[in-house]
Amino acid sequence: MTDPASFAVPTPADWGVIAVFATVYLGMFLGGLPRLKLDRSGVALLGAIAVIALTGLPLEDAARSVDLPTIVLLFAFMVVSAQMRLGGFYTEVTRRVGALPLSRAGLLAALIAVAGALSAVFSNDIVCLAMTPVVAQLCLQRGLNPIPFLIGLACAANIGSAATLIGNPQNMLIGSVLQLHFADHARQALAPVGVSLALLWLWLAYGPGARAGAPESTPSVTTPARTDGEPFDRWQTAKGLVVATALMAVFLFTDWPRDVAALVGAGVLLLSRRFHSADVIGSVDWPLLLLFIGLFVVNHAFEQTGLSAHAVAWLATQGVHLSDPGALVVVGVLLSNLVSNVPAVMLMLPHLGADPQQAGVLLALVSTFAGNLLLVGSIANLIVADLAAKEGIVLDWKRHLVTGLPVTVVSLLVVWGFMRWTS
């Protein structure tokens, strides 16, 4: 442990790095920088450029600070998700669920289960992007209040994505950096995820969440729902499902490098006579990849100043240890809602203590579940809100908070209970 008293006085270059680091994470909190046309990815990229210029960091060293397996794995699964979206898979599944003769509670249960399961294998953001318009149209057609269904979709996608090390970007990062075993993570995470999904359904189906945020009059339509989304292609969907299933088998039952296996799977999908490679690659979230790369470089430069180690050592003298599950939960929730879960995970990963498997699972669950607290806590939440607005449905932060707050608190208590029981 670093002795707080031994902390060296920062050099002028260190102060410059500290200023850049603070500005970048202010941008993560605000979603950009005031008066500038920059989003989080732009802020992270410019921050990386600034610290390279300030410190004279060789480009080779900057490149080595980037965790390449995480970037490759994230890219590969973006390609897999693009294949499924272009094949109309997500839209078709949602429509088929909506066509079932289910009650309101039954329909909520089915949509929450589908969103959670799909998000464990594919990107939760892509799932929300594809399912939101169909869910909104389905509710309007049936005369149902769409707000609980849309909030349920976003929350279920976030919760379900925590079940595996490929369900969301922060889990990919945690699994890659800590070298976690895929099957071990799933075994520990499935129970908290399943219970949290069930509690989400109970709240929305029977609790105050069943009526919370309901508009004064629920709009209804008499015409058939529009056919938004890509047309369903059985062959291309089957091709994507075969690759995804094969990758899951590789991850669960072999020790093959996940990034290499996923890259091979993405290569197989790019060999297509139906989808042009430009369309598939164009569906990759390149700004998110740039966000990762920029934050890796900025965080590396900040760590070289010694301030992060000094701060952790100082917290330890106050009795706050990130290796302690309680402290990890509190700090993880706070940081995830301040700067978003990916930057929060990057900040916390170097300081988790001697048991990476247990701490990694806890951090993955906490950082993901915390995204349900606020509307801005997860990109999936914002995707649902933006697409709902295009359907004339107002899903603001107050309506989201009515469900997000209790669901987040209860799901974190579930995680805490399971971690204490299994430790």
SS (H, E, C) 343-383: HHHHHHHHHCCCCHHHHHHHHHHHHHHHHHCCHHHCHHHHH
* Whether the Cβ atoms of residue 416 and residue 325 lie closer than 8 Å to each other: yes
Place of tokens 């057609």: 141
By the 8 A CB rule, do 290 and 171 touch?
Answer: no
pLDDT at 222: 35
Sign of the alpha-carbon dihedral angle for 104, 107, 112, 115: negative
Residue holding tokens 């930057």? 343
- Identify whether the C-beta of residue 93 lies closer than 8 Å to the C-beta of residue 195: no
Residue type, 12: P
Q: What pLDDT is stored for residue 7 in this prediction?
A: 57
Q: What is the length of the chain?
A: 423
**Residue for token digits 């060296």?**
8
Share above pLDDT 90 across residues of the chain, in percent, rounded to a whole number: 52
Distances, alpha carbon 70 to alpha carbons 32, 76, 207, in Å: 24, 10, 40
Q: What is the pLDDT of residues 112-125, one digit of tens each?
A: 999 999 999 988 88
Could you tell me which residues come within 8 angstroms of residue 87 by beta carbon, excluding any fewer than 6 positions away? 230, 232, 233, 236, 237, 239, 240
Cβ(123)–Cβ(342) below 8 Å: no
Segments forming the whole domain that contains residue 365: 4-422
Please state, in angstroms and as integers, the Cα–Cα distance from residue 399 to each residue in 126, 144, 210, 360, following that order: 23, 16, 12, 32
The number of domains in the chain is 1
User: Does the pLDDT value for residue 9 go beyond 50?
Assistant: yes
CA 138/CA 308 separation, integer angstroms: 49
Q: Cβ–Cβ contacts within 10 Å for residue 58, how many? A: 10
Distance of alpha carbon 298 from alpha carbon 300, whole angstroms: 5
- Given a contact cutoff of 8 angstroms between Cβ atoms, the answer to whether 175 and 86 are in contact is no
Give the model's pLDDT for residue 4. Answer: 52
Q: What is the pLDDT of residues 56-102, one digit of tens each?
A: 999 999 999 999 999 999 999 999 998 998 899 988 999 999 889 99
In this prediction, residues 329-356 reach a mean pLDDT of: 84
CB 376 within 8 A of CB 328: no
The token pair at 207 is 């609790």
> 376 or 414: which carries more pLDDT confidence?
414
pLDDT in tens, 135-158: 999 998 888 999 999 999 999 999
The whole-number pLDDT of residue 221 equals 37
- pTM, whole model, 2 decimals? 0.86
Phi, psi for residue 173 in degrees, rounded to 5: -65, -45
User: What pLDDT score was predicted for residue 227?
Assistant: 45
The dihedrals phi and psi of 263, each to the nearest 5 degrees, come to: -65, -40
What is the rounded CA–CA span in Å between residue 199 and residue 321? 30
- pLDDT at site 223: 36
Alpha-carbon gap, residue 196 to 186, rounded angstroms: 15
**pLDDT tens digit sequence for 14-73:** 899 999 999 999 998 888 898 889 988 999 999 999 999 999 999 999 999 999 999 999
* Residue 335, pLDDT score: 87
Residues 6+ apart with CB under 8 A from 363: 174, 328, 332, 345, 348, 349, 352
Which of the pair, 406 or 220, is modelled with greater confidence? Answer: 406
Pair 119, 161: CB distance under 8 Å: yes
Average pLDDT, the chain: 87
Give the separation between CA 372 and CA 349, rounded to whole angstroms.
Answer: 21
User: Is pLDDT at 211 greater than 80 in this prediction?
Assistant: no
More confident residue, 362 or 325: 362
Position 8 scores a pLDDT of 64
